């Protein structure tokens, strides 16, 4: 990676988070600053519903980033934007090309195959975001890297990443159209996160990455080193919060109760203690019931992927605010029988922002890293300074604005009249006439 500044924005149903990082020639990413806006009301299930409110929030975030000591006086001219939302999922597509005998597989042939996969017939209400290759066959030989192989027939299986068109369209209407900031690229957050925090061994063995957000939960499954399944579930941590509001508390208070006292495993569910006037047992019953439903839907994705738990010896890796609920990882481990761990940033990502540790930053940093590795774009620029004349002479003073011609002529006429009157006064005081002064 060449040394340059990268900016990223990740918009979700509970927060908007923006970050700036600096890449190094050694392949490291230094996260300089991260800013966050919480309690977002203009976004539902990952799709922007209120363009004006969201653009105002993004503008505030970018402004705060530009004022950071490690950024100023640079200005943000472009950002990479994470794609996440309920409509994102994968569709399997198989394509093939017949070639002349002894053809060497080139990058152009692979690109042609990829474009052919993107044109595969799908639901016309969905847009293809990316085509991720799962496996290639050159003649009868299976390979993950077909470039350079020789054959007369190439076949590939792709996972087409698709979404509803308004997901990208509303992001475009919010950031470039309203703020004048260029989108340097769209990045599928779930894929970028898997690329950043999953090890090569976990992907080869078989593993599941679960991102539990506020209103959506994303599940990606890897096997034999490549993506095998991708789906977004319309449920998350906010479902638990809203269940607690049925006990006649506002959502803000319900969220506090969930964080402080909620437990997905239901420990001490028979306690007679009160939580802010609510019975502990009632809160626990609600939290446990919804948590078990969410976990059951997550694990059901293994079946939809035509796999079994034994196909995932790499375990389950969890990220996102919903996974931080007490007992949630234990519940997933109990129900799946697999090893469960919390996802962490790799060592080659350094956090310079001292306050970043308290934020859910894995997703936005993954988008940053994808922007750094998949492109050569520079997202920041220095403001232009006024040019100094080559002669070194100071610019001429601006001329004073000229008075209107009629006003100048009237002033001259009055002065002439005064001079004449004064002359008459000295020659013959009785002949003085003030009429000229009144014209």
Q: pTM score, two decimals? A: 0.84
Averaged confidence pLDDT in the chain: 88
pLDDT at position 103, please?
96
Residue 40 has a pLDDT of 80
The SS3 call for residue 341 is strand
The band of 1, judged by pLDDT with boundaries at 50, 70 and 90, is: low
Quote the pLDDT of residue 435: 44
Is the pLDDT at 187 greater than 80? The verdict is yes
- Residue count of the chain, please give it: 439
Question: How many whole angstroms separate alpha carbon 432 and alpha carbon 201?
Answer: 112
Read off the pLDDT of residues 137-151 as tens digits, 9 standing for 90 and up: 999 999 999 999 999
Q: Among residues 174, 165, 166, which one has the least CA distance to residue 61? A: 174
Average pLDDT over residues 413-430: 58
- Per-residue pLDDT for 393 more than 60? no
Which pLDDT score, from 0 to 100, does residue 352 have?
84
Does 206 have pLDDT greater than 60? Answer: yes
Which distant-in-sequence residues (6+ apart) come within 8 Å of 18 by Cβ?
7, 8, 9, 10, 34, 35, 36, 58, 61, 62, 65, 79, 364
pLDDT number for residue 434: 47
Q: List Cα–Cα distances, 307 to 94, 179, 310, in angstroms.
A: 19, 45, 8
Cβ–Cβ < 8 Å for 421, 437: yes
What's the confidence (pLDDT) of residue 354? Answer: 66
Asked whether the predicted pLDDT for residue 196 surpasses 90, the reply is yes
Q: Domains of the chain, with CATH numbers? A: 5-87+165-242+259-381 (3.30.420.40), 89-163 (3.30.1490.110), 406-438 (no CATH)
List Cβ neighbours of 171 (8 Å cut-off, separation of 6 or more).
11, 48, 81, 83, 183, 186
Q: Which of 267-281, 334-348, 354-368 has the lowest mean pLDDT?
A: 267-281
Alpha-carbon distances, residue 38 vs 12, 63, 299 (angstroms):
10, 16, 29
Task: Flag whether pLDDT at 402 surpasses 60.
Answer: no
- pLDDT of 290 strictly over 50: yes
Q: Which two tokens stand for residue 6?
A: 């990268």
351-376 average pLDDT score: 84
Q: Please, are residues 380 and 5 in contact by the beta-carbon 8 Å criterion?
A: yes
Residues 317, 211: contact at Cβ < 8 Å? no
**Residue 299: its pLDDT value, please?**
98
Token readout for 260 is: 């402080």
Please name which of 111, 106, 231, 116 lies closest in space to residue 163, comparing C-alpha atoms. Answer: 231
pLDDT over threshold 80, residue 436? no
Least confident of 110-124, 239-253, 361-375: 110-124
Res. 3: pLDDT tops 80: yes
What pLDDT score was predicted for residue 394? 54
pLDDT tens-place string over residues 115-125: 999 998 677 88
Q: What is the pLDDT of residues 45-63, one digit of tens each?
A: 989 999 999 999 999 999 9
Name the percent of the chain lying above pLDDT 90. Answer: 73
Q: Is pLDDT above 60 for 341?
A: yes
* Predicted local confidence at residue 437, as pLDDT: 38
- Give me the DSSP letters along 265-310: T-TTTT---EETTEEHHHHHHHHHHHHHHHHHHHHHHHHHTT--GG
């Amino acid at each position: 990676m060449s040394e340059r500044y990268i900016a990223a924005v990740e918009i979700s149903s509970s927060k908007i988070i923006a970050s700036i990082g600096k890449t190094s020639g050694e392949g490291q990413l230094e996260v300089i600053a991260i800013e966050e806006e919480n309690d977002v009301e203009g976004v539902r299930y990952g799709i922007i519903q209120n363009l004006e409110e969201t653009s105002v929030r993004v503008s505030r975030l970018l402004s705060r980033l530009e004022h950071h000591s490690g950024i100023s006086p640079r200005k943000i001219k472009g950002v990479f934007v994470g794609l996440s939302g309920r409509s994102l999922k994968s569709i399997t597509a198989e394509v093939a090309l017949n070639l002349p005998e002894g053809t060497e597989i080139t990058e152009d042939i692979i690109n042609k195959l990829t474009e052919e996969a993107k044109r595969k017939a799908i639901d016309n209400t969905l847009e293809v975001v990316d085509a991720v290759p799962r496996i290639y066959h050159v003649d009868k030989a299976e390979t993950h890297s077909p470039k350079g192989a020789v054959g007369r027939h190439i076949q590939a299986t792709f996972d087409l990443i698709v979404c509803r068109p308004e997901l990208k369209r509303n992001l475009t209407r919010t950031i470039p159209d309203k703020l004048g900031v260029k989108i340097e690229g769209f990045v599928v957050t779930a894929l970028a996160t898997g690329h950043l925090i999953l090890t090569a061994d976990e992907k080869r063995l078989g593993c599941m990455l679960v991102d539990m957000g506020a209103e959506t939960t994303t599940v990606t499954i890897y096997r034999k080193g490549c993506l095998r399944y991708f789906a977004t579930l319309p449920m998350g941590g906010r479902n638990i919060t809203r269940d607690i509001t049925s006990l006649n508390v506002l959502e803000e208070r319900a969220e506090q109760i969930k964080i402080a006292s909620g437990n997905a495993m239901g420990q001490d569910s028979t306690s007679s203690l009160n939580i802010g006037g609510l019975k502990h047992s009632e809160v626990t019953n609600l939290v446990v019931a919804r948590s078990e439903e969410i976990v059951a839907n997550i694990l059901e994705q293994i079946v939809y992927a035509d796999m079994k738990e034994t196909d995932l010896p790499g375990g389950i890796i969890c990220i996102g605010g919903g996974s931080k609920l007490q007992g949630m990882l234990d519940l997933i481990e109990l129900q799946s029988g697999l090893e469960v761990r919390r996802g962490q940033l790799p060592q080659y990502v350094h956090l310079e922002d001292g306050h970043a540790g308290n934020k859910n930053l894995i997703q936005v940093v993954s988008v940053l890293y994808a922007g750094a590795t998949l492109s050569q774009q520079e997202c920041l620029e220095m403001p232009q300074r006024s040019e100094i004349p080559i002669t070194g002479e100071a610019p001429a003073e601006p001329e004073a604005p000229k008075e209107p011609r009629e006003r100048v002529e009237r002033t001259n006429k009055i002065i002439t009249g005064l001079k004449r009157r004064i002359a008459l006064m000295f020659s013959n005081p009785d002949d003085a006439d003030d009429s000229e002064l009144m014209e």
